[in-house]
């Protein structure tokens, strides 16, 4: 019987103490840390050399996190998925960090077992999101008015409702039950939505909503001032 190869992991943290902590938390037979970096830029080079499956990024200084750079893990063809560990902070800071560079987002005070499970989920193509982070995004969604012409216009009202349910963490099956649609239909609609908004996964779709809802809110505010 052939054993599955361990997940090749790259850790990124801006202090040796954090890197040591990640090393201890992620110790597992099915996870192998192949490289460590102190900046995202260094991690990109290490990804090129080591070809890790997953990168765990835990940077306490938000100014060091350029998630456009995180996207290079994908665009350069390294095949490396990113799991971001965020510091619990105010809502605006959290929203600023939720962009489309990562596959999953957790708070840095996550437990060791939950972190290892999240690495496995990301490796399998999933998108783990801390429930509080999901709630922050869902909270922002209440500002949305679907009847306006806005940066959200590429999606129909029905599609925006599906995005809303994605943000709440609902599965395709749960969405289908509520909207009275077959699972396969929901799957196709989610796929169409991701293509329309150029999002790589469900987390990216939530991030798209946050970014464009901000623009929508600002646009409506300017319209009100001009009246």
Per residue in 4-31, pLDDT tens?
Answer: 789 999 999 988 999 999 999 999 999 9
Mean pLDDT of all residues in 156-173: 79
How far apart CA 13 and CA 7 sit, in angstroms, is 19
Residue 142 has pLDDT above 50, yes or no: yes
Is residue 85 within 8 A of residue 22, CB to CB? The reply is no
Determine how β-strand 7-13 pairs with β-strand 81-86: unpaired
- The radius of gyration of the chain from alpha carbons, rounded to an integer in Å, stands at 19
Q: Place 147 in a pLDDT band, splitting at 50, 70 and 90.
A: very low
Count Cβ atoms below 10 Å from residue 206 Cβ, excluding itself.
29
pLDDT tens for each residue of 43-94: 888 888 899 999 998 877 666 655 555 666 666 656 788 888 888 776 666 6
Distance in Å from the first CA to the final CA of the chain:
73
pTM, two decimals, is 0.66
Tell me the H-state helices in 142-182: 157-167, 172-179
C-alpha closest to that of 134 among 156, 108, 106, 162: 106
List domains and CATH numbers for the chain.
Answer: 8-128 (3.40.50.2300), 136-226 (1.10.10.10)
How far apart CA 105 and CA 124 sit, in angstroms, is 15
């Amino acid at each position: 019987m052939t054993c599955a190869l361990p997940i090749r992991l790259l850790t990124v943290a801006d202090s040796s103490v954090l890197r040591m902590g990640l090393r201890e938390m992620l110790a597992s037979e099915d996870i192998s840390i192949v490289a460590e970096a102190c900046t995202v830029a260094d991690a990109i080079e290490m990804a090129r050399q080591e070809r890790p499956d997953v990168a765990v990024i835990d940077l306490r200084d938000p100014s060091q996190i350029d998630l456009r750079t995180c996207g290079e893990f994908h665009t350069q063809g390294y095949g490396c998925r990113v799991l971001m560990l965020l510091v619990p902070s105010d809502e605006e800071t959290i929203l600023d960090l939720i962009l489309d560079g990562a596959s999953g987002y957790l708070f840095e005070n996550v437990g060791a077992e939950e972190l290892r499970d999240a690495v496995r989920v990301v490796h399998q193509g999933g998108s783990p999101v801390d429930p509080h982070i999901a709630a922050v995004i869902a909270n922002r969604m209440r500002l949305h008015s679907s009847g306006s012409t806005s940066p959200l216009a590429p999606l129909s009202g029905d599609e925006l409702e599906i995005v809303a349910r994605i943000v709440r963490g609902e599965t395709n099956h749960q969405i289908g039950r509520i909207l009275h649609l077959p699972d396969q239909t929901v799957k196709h609609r989610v796929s169409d939505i991701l293509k329309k908004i150029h999002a790589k996964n469900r987390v990216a779709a939530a991030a798209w909503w946050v970014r464009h809802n901000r623009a929508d809110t600002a646009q409506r505010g300017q319209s009100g001032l001009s009246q």
